[in-house]
């Protein structure tokens, strides 16, 4: 008899560990309740979680909803706030007024007409974002993406969250252990024993003795104790493409409890990297991501101090080293890595948590029935996950390679063709003559960044596609209609949506309507 896969052990209790536990446990609730399947999470009481990672992608709403989390509870317990996209300041020229949005809404009529060629022929005096989608204006006006009567997880304008990473993991832990039957062991994994075929048989912990499992999920962060240290899966370094290798992070209180709150991550380009600025109800999370090959730590601290202002003196910045890259494969033998154990590039565009969610979903949906078929599932997981890492690297590099800045070596080095992946180089060449659209190069069911994201960044940064007058011929009337419709929708949303902070305060007081 082939042994079924029934005991899953996740090591690591950060965002990746608890999201993975929740996604797997929710998907296999029936079997957990019947006692034929178990999910256990082992977490060190001494090794802290990374505690950063406060921007997410809209997939997080479906992930939490499927886990049975109440959105109101999320807002109240995780210092949760709305995120409607990214505002990129100073990336193209660095001149005053240089900014663009990468919103979370698709362009109007995206599946029917590609509006990009029409906008390129006639911009109507509007940025690409404002011509095709209301969200840039909503962000400019400090508006929320829904109202207090919009039910939980539903949206007027698409959104994800900003959250306090130090509160999110304990919040998920309570939900997973109290509602989904996940077992929780607070213990340090000290040694790992393997079977002859290389599979991990068991781990020995300091506080809870020996634990065995059929499938292990390595969520031990940068330690990668199973996939990296035990199974020796190599790390593919990407620092020749993405240069930032340090982050300096601070938490900055608001001037007052009712100070306006932005609902977009603000990413402001600096001399050797960029600064993130994320507004939570109680504070702002701000951090400078920079390249130590282009700037010393002291200079970087000065850059951050200038951004934060006089209050910087009262704060204690935390330095977090980054090694851009990912494991060569993500599932080997009976070990699969999720989160930082699988890799990390840099915080731009908040691509890490979403990749963790997608990986957890893939594991949960394709849970191998037994060890015999596990290698087949692993091969598929590795193919899909490698593809996703590749596309994220391309997309992050896109933000740097389109710059026209030549004020520092950091920006000059970033446009060096030797630092640009071949696939991105080819696409940039292609996009000189045709605009990306949803079925072109991004044809997977779950692309992390769809073609619309490329459009927002390309045209936000002044890239020109040399569209022929005849391109998209026959769709002009439809395109004009969608662009007009967009302006009408924008005005309607501007008049109906509440201020961002006002809605968050209402959610704390009254709650959203449960679904
Ligand atoms: C500067 C910075 C900014 C970021 N910003 C974003 C962002 O805006 N958006 C985004 O999506 N992502 C962001 N990320 C990434 C994000 O923080 C992580 O993807 C996310 O927090 C998941 O981390 P993790 O759970 O994999 O690891 P961790 O939080 O490091 O958790 C590791 C866990 O493993 C446990 N552990 C380790 N060793 C052992 C052991 N021997 N025995 C038992 N347990 C062990 C620890 O106790 C801990 O519970 C950012 C990362 C950095 C560095």
Query: What does the H/E/C string look like for 260-290?
Result: CCCCCEEEEECCCEEEEEEECCCEEEEEEEE
pLDDT score at 467: 82
pLDDT score at 439: 62
Candidate from 10, 49, 290, 448 with most ligand 1 atoms within 8 A of CB, to mutate: 49
Q: Retrieve residue 127's tokens.
A: 């940025």
**Alpha-carbon gap, residue 489 to 469, rounded angstroms:** 28
Enumerate helices (H) and strands (E) in the chain, giving the number of each: 16, 21
Task: Using the Cα atoms of residue 105, residue 111, residue 112 and residue 113 in order, give the sign of their dihedral.
Answer: positive
Query: Which atom of ligand 1 lies closest to the CA of 46?
Result: 47
**Residue having the nearest C-alpha atom to atom 49 of ligand 1:** 13
| CA 236–ligand 1 middle distance (angstroms) | 19
Query: Which atom of ligand 1 lies closest to the CA of 340?
Result: 26
What dihedral angle (degrees, nearest 10) is formed by the CA atoms of 250, 256, 257, 262? -60
pLDDT score at 3: 82
Reduce the secondary structure of 392-457 to three states and give it as a string: HHHHHHHHHHCCCCCCCHHHHHHCCHHHCCHHHHHHHHHCCCCCCCCCCCCCCCCCCCCHHHHHHH
**Residue having the nearest C-alpha atom to atom 14 of ligand 1:** 53
**CB under 8 A, 24+ apart: contacts of 124-129:** 124/483, 127/100, 127/101, 127/459, 127/460, 128/100, 128/455, 128/456, 128/459, 128/460, 129/100, 129/101, 129/102, 129/103, 129/456, 129/460
422-476: per-residue pLDDT in tens? 999 999 999 999 999 876 666 666 778 989 999 999 999 999 999 876 666 678 8
**Residue having the nearest C-alpha atom to atom 20 of ligand 1:** 15
**Residue having the nearest C-alpha atom to atom 9 of ligand 1:** 350
**Residue having the nearest C-alpha atom to atom 15 of ligand 1:** 53
Task: Using the Cα atoms of residue 268, residue 269, residue 275 and residue 276 in order, give the sign of their dihedral.
Answer: positive
Candidate from 10, 18, 52 with most ligand 1 atoms within 8 A of CB, to mutate: 52
Which residues line ligand 1 at a C-beta cut-off of 6 Å? 11-17, 42-44, 47, 49-50, 52-56, 165, 188-189, 219-221, 223, 225, 247, 287, 320, 322, 339-341, 344, 347, 350, 352-353, 356
187-218: per-residue pLDDT in tens? 999 999 999 999 999 999 999 999 999 999 99
**Alpha-carbon gap, residue 161 to 163, rounded angstroms:** 6
Paired with 156 in beta bridges are: none
Q: 236 with 308: CB under 8 angstroms?
A: no
Residue of 144, 54, 106, 177 lying closest to 512 (CA atoms)? 144
Percent of the chain beyond pLDDT 70? 97
Q: Mean pLDDT across the stretch 351-365?
A: 97
| CA 50–ligand 1 middle distance (angstroms) | 4
C-alpha angle 498-169-320 in degrees, rounded to nearest 5: 95
Question: Can you tell me whether residue 138 is helix, strand or coil?
Answer: helix
279-311: per-residue pLDDT in tens? 999 999 999 999 999 999 999 999 999 999 999
β-strand pairing of 7-11 with 38-43: parallel
| CA 238–ligand 1 middle distance (angstroms) | 19
**How does DSSP assign 170-222, residue by residue?**
HHHHHHHHHHS--EEEE--EEEEEE-TTS-EEEEEETTTEEEE-SEEEE--GG
Q: 52 with 320: CB under 8 angstroms?
A: yes
Q: Mean pLDDT across the stretch 133-159?
A: 98
End-to-end CA distance of the chain: 44
| CA 186–ligand 1 middle distance (angstroms) | 17
pLDDT score at 268: 98
Q: Retrieve residue 178's tokens.
A: 């109290």
**Alpha-carbon gap, residue 14 to 11, rounded angstroms:** 10
DSSP secondary structure code for residue 161 in this structure: E
**Residue having the nearest C-alpha atom to atom 1 of ligand 1:** 247
Q: Retrieve residue 132's tokens.
A: 């095709």
Q: 396 with 242: CB under 8 angstroms?
A: yes
151, containing H or E segment:
none
| CA 473–ligand 1 middle distance (angstroms) | 49
What's the gap between Cα 406 and its chain centre? 29
Going from the C-alpha of 53 to that of each of 15, 67, 144, 164, 181, the distances in angstroms are 9, 20, 21, 8, 26
pLDDT score at 514: 85
Paired with 236 in beta bridges are: 326
Q: Is a pLDDT exceeding 90 seen at residue 123?
A: no
233, containing H or E segment:
none
Residue of 220, 273, 280 lying closest to 248 (CA atoms)? 273
| CA 155–ligand 1 middle distance (angstroms) | 29
Q: 215 with 368: CB under 8 angstroms?
A: yes
Going from the C-alpha of 379 to that of each of 115, 159, 366, 374, 386, the distances in angstroms are 38, 33, 12, 9, 11
365-390: per-residue pLDDT in tens? 999 999 999 999 999 999 999 999 99
What dihedral angle (degrees, nearest 10) is formed by the CA atoms of 383, 389, 390, 391? 110
Task: Provide the annotated active-site residues.
Answer: 83
| CA 26–ligand 1 middle distance (angstroms) | 22
What's the gap between Cα 287 and its chain centre? 16
57, containing H or E segment:
none
Please give the model's pTM, rounded to 2 decimal places.
0.96
β-strand pairing of 215-218 with 335-337: parallel
Q: Mean pLDDT across the stretch 396-423?
A: 98
Under the banding of pLDDT at 50, 70 and 90, the label for residue 258 is confident
DSSP secondary structure code for residue 157 in this structure: S
Burial status of residue 19 (CB atoms within 10 A of its CB: 0-12, 13-18, 19 or more): buried
Q: Mean pLDDT in the chain?
A: 95
pLDDT score at 313: 93
């Amino acid at each position: 008899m082939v042994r079924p896969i029934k005991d899953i052990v996740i090591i690591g209790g950060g965002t990746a560990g608890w999201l993975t536990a929740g996604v797997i446990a929710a998907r296999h609730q029936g079997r957990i309740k019947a006692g034929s399947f178990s999910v256990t999470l082992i977490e060190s009481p001494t090794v802290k979680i990374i505690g950063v990672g406060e921007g997410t992608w809209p997939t997080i709403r479906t992930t939490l909803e499927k886990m049975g989390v109440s959105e109101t509870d999320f807002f109240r317990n995780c210092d949760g706030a709305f995120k409607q996209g990214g505002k990129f300041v100073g990336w193209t020229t660095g001149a005053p007024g240089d900014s663009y949005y990468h919103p979370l809404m698709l362009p109007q009529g995206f599946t029917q007409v590609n509006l990009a060629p029409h906008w390129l022929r006639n911009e109507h005096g509007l940025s690409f974002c404002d011509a095709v989608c209301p969200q840039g204006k909503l962000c400019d006006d400090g508006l929320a993406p829904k109202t207090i009567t919009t039910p939980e997880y539903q949206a007027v304008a698409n959104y994800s969250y900003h959250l306090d990473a130090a509160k999110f993991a304990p919040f998920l832990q309570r939900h997973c252990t109290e509602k989904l039957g996940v077992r929780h062991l607070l213990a340090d994994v000290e040694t790992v024993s393997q079977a002859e075929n290389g599979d991990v048989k068991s781990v020995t912990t300091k506080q809870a003795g020996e634990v065995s499992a059929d499938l292990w999920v390595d969520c031990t962060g940068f330690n990668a104790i199973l996939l990296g240290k035990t199974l020796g899966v190599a790390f593919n370094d990407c620092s020749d493409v993405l240069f930032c290798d340090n982050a300096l992070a601070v938490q900055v209180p608001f001037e007052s409890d009712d100070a306006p709150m932005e609902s977009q991550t603000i990413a402001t380009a600096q001399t050797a990297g960029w600064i993130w600025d994320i507004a939570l109800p109680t504070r702002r999370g701000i951090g400078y991501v920079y390249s130590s090959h282009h700037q010393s730590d002291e200079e970087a601290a000065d850059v951050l101090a200038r951004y934060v202002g006089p209050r910087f003196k009262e704060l204690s910045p935390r330095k977090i080293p980054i090694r851009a890259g990912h494991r060569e494969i993500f599932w080997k033998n009976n070990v699969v890595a999720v989160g930082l154990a699988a890799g990390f590039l840099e915080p731009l565009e908040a691509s890490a948590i979403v990749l963790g969610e997608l990986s957890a979903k893939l594991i949960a949906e394709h849970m191998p029935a037994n060890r015999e078929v596990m290698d087949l599932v692993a091969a598929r997981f590795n193919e899909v996950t490698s593809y996703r890492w590749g596309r994220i690297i391309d997309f992050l590099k896109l933000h740097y390679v389109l710059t026209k800045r030549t004020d520092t070596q950091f920006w000059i080095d970033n446009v060096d063709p030797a630092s640009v992946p071949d696939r991105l180089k080819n696409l940039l060449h292609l996009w000189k003559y045709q605009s990306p659209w949803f079925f072109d190069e991004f044809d997977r069911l779950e692309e992390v960044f769809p073609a619309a994201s490329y459009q927002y960044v390309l045209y936000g940064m002044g890239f020109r596609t040399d569209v022929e007058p005849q391109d998209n011929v026959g769709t002009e009337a439809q395109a004009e209609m969608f662009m007009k419709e967009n302006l009408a929708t924008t005005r309607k949303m501007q008049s109906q949506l509440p201020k961002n902070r006002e809605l968050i305060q209402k959610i704390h007081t009254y709650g959203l309507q449960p679904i």
